[in-house]
Each structure stands twice: as C-alpha cells, then as structure tokens.
C-alpha cells in the first residue's frame, strides 16, 4: 500500500502542476484576447467618429496644401490595416501619440490626470462599501421592519437621482448658500505647487511630505464629490448585500446553527457573511470599475482635474489621440481590477482553488 502511494504522489503532483499551468495559460490568453479586442474597438471607434483629426491639428482656416501635407504626415492616407499595425506598435511602446490640445504626449497627460480620478474613485468606493454593506446586511436581518424600508428607500434614491443634478444642488446649497465646501478644483490656490511627488496623488504625496495644510486642503476638496459618488455606490452595494444575505439566511446551515444555540450576530457575521464575501468582492470590484469610468459628470460639475474632465475636453476638441488613450487606459484598469479580484477569490474562499 505504501509503495502504491509513493508511486502515485509524483503523478498527482505533475497533474496538479499541469492543471495550474493550464489555468494560468487560459487566463493569460483571455487577457490578451480582451486587450486585443479593446484595441480593435478603440481603433475602429476612433476612425468612425465624425471628427477630422487633421482639422483638430491645423484648424479650419488652413489651406488645402497644408491639409494634404498633415494628412500624409499623420499616416491617414495609408490603408486601415497598415494604420492599425502602426497603432499596435505604438501602444506596445506605451506611445499614445501627442495631444492636440495640450501639445504634450498623451502618456504624460494620463500620468498627470489619472491619479486624481483614482483618488476620487477609491475614496468613493471605500465610503460606499463601509456604509452600503453593513446597511444591506442589517436590512436583510431586519427584513420587513422600518430599517429594511429605510435601506430600500436610500438605495432607490441613490439609483434614481442623477449624479450631476445632485452635485449641482450640493454646490448651490453648501457652497453658494452656506459656504461650507469649496466651489471646485482639487486644492486651494495658495497650496498649489507646494507638494510634488512621484504618485501625482495629492493625498498620498502630501502625507509622505508631511505637508498637513496641503493634505487637509486636498481632503476638503475631494470629500464632497467622493461622498456623492460614494452614495451612488452605497445604493448599489446595499441592495446587492441585502439580496446576498437574504439568500444565505434561508439556507439550512443557518437553522442548524440556531438549533445549536449560537447567538444571532455570530451566526450573521461568522457564518452567513463569510459565505457572501466572494459575491461582495465581485460587486465591489464592479462598482470600483464603474466609478473609474463614470466620474465624467461629477468631475465636470466640481471642476475636478481628473481623467473624466480630460476625456470630456478631448471629445469637445476632437483630440482623438487623447480620447483613445483615455478609453484604453480605462479598459486596461478594468481588466486589471477583475484579474486582481479573481486572485483574491482564491485566498478568501478555498472552494475556488
């Protein structure tokens, strides 16, 4: 018996290794396919948009000779498959072209504006998760009571209220009327340029530099738009948490735990909540991705110098290099977040390994 066991162990180990390598290869192939599809879509959309990139560069007052020269220099006279090949080559070198508006490389513009959006979306997601998940769990536990009704009304208002309208009302009331919040922007004027760090995130860089005045100024500006976005995320997360928890509370193991005399809240948090962690991680990741690419309106309302405002300005001026670079960055970040959530699954739930 021991001989059979010793001969089976290497075979079983090699099977596990091959299975793991196969899963890694499959995941890698899916990521590459998704990225390639994203590149194709962004390229096609960039060519189908009814905006002339040549006019965006030289203006509408240039003569035909200048137009033809710039048209050739930009490679627009070549076949589409040749243009797409050059596009892939440039993207592989992280070259998104030059912005026609800022006259800077799009990559440097994205490195400058994206940390502001990341800052805003991360804080909003933390607010939404910290309030939405407990609210949803409590609503499920108190199903049919006033707590459940309040949670459902809060979620309904968060779903149905347009973010840009809510942001405008908040500015009119709390800035124009009471002067409690700043009108917009990322920091007070007299604090600009005091902190320059490697991350381009004012909150992180000011903490590292121990510039507390800059930190509290940045926090004062970010908290209002983050609360508005966090409220939208809280509405979504509370609704999903309530649904997940209600499903778990109907399971037989809950009745068994109650029959053994376990307390109510230990059953809720130690047993039922542990079984919805993977589902909650999925919806939190989706909410985070949605906030990263859905901050356009709130950034416009609060004059927040992030990716959303940069993308809006690029669309307005037909700056297609900036538009394609922004869309591609959002897609890559979304893929990375979903991949990271899949990896975290395997640590918090052994059944997914």
Provide mean pLDDT across the span 38-63: 77
Higher pLDDT, 2 or 226: 226
pLDDT, position 206? 86
98 forms beta bridges with 105
Token match 């290869």: residue? Answer: 25
Of 15-24, 61-70, 82-91, 145-154, which range is least confident?
15-24
Cβ atoms of 223 and 180 within 8 Å: the answer is: no
The helix (run of H) or strand (run of E) holding residue 127 is helix 106-141
- What are the structure tokens assigned to 177, written together? 């009327």
What confidence category does residue 227 fall into, taking pLDDT thresholds of 50, 70 and 90?
A: very high
Higher pLDDT, 348 or 216: 216
Instruction: Choose among 317, 324, 346, 304: nearest CA to 120.
Output: 304
Provide mean pLDDT across the span 301-305: 88
Residue 264 CA from chain centroid, whole number: 36
Q: Is 3 helix (H, G, I), strand (E, B) or coil?
A: helix
Percent of the chain with pLDDT over 70: 94
The helix (run of H) or strand (run of E) holding residue 292 is helix 277-293
Provide mean pLDDT across the span 192-202: 80
Nearby residues of 148 by Cβ (< 8 Å), 6 or more positions away: 139, 140, 142, 242
End-to-end CA gap in the chain: 29
pLDDT digits (tens, 9 = 90+) for 248-293: 888 888 888 888 888 888 888 888 888 888 889 889 988 898 888 7
Quote the CA–CA distance of 312 and 20 in Å, as a whole number: 43
What confidence category does residue 240 fall into, taking pLDDT thresholds of 50, 70 and 90?
A: very high
What confidence category does residue 124 fall into, taking pLDDT thresholds of 50, 70 and 90?
A: very high
Query: What count of other Cβ atoms lies within 10 Å of the Cβ of residue 62?
Result: 14
187: left (phi over 0), alpha (psi -120 to 50) or beta: beta
Residue 243 has pLDDT above 60, yes or no: yes
């Amino acid at each position: 018996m021991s001989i059979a066991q010793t001969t089976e162990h290497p075979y079983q180990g090699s099977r596990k290794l091959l299975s793991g390598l196969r899963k890694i290869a499959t995941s890698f192939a899916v990521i590459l396919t998704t990225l390639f599809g994203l590149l194709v879509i962004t390229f096609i959309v960039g060519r189908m948009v009814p905006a002339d990139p040549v006019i965006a560069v030289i203006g509408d007052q240039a003569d035909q000779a200048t137009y033809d020269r710039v048209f050739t220099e930009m490679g627009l006279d070549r076949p589409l498959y040749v243009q797409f090949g050059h596009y892939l080559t440039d993207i592989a070198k992280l070259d998104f072209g030059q912005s026609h508006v800022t006259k800077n490389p799009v990559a440097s513009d994205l490195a400058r504006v994206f940390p502001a959006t990341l800052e805003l979306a991360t804080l909003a997601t933390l607010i939404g998760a910290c309030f939405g998940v407990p609210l949803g769990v409590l609503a499920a536990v108190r199903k049919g009571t006033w707590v459940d009704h309040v949670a459902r009304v809060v979620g309904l208002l968060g779903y149905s209220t347009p973010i840009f309208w809510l942001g405008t009302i908040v500015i009119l009331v709390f800035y124009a009327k009471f002067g409690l919040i700043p009108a917009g922007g990322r920091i007070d004027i007299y604090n600009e340029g005091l902190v320059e760090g490697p991350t381009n995130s004012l909150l992180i860089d000011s903490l590292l530099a121990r510039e507390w005045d800059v930190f509290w100024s940045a926090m004062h500006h970010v908290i209002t738009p983050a609360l508005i976005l966090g409220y939208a995320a809280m509405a979504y997360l509370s609704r999903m948490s309530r649904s997940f928890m209600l499903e778990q509370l109907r399971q037989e193991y809950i009745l068994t735990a109650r029959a053994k005399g376990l307390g109510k809240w230990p059953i809720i948090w130690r047993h039922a909540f542990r079984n919805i962690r993977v589902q909650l991680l999925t919806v939190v990741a989706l909410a985070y991705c949605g906030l990263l690419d859905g901050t356009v309106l709130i950034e416009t309302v609060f004059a927040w110098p992030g990716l959303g405002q940069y993308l809006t300005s690029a669309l307005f001026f037909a700056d297609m290099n900036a538009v394609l670079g922004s869309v591609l960055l959002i897609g890559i970040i979304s893929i990375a977040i979903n991949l990271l959530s899949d990896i975290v699954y395997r640590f918090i739930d052994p059944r997914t390994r």
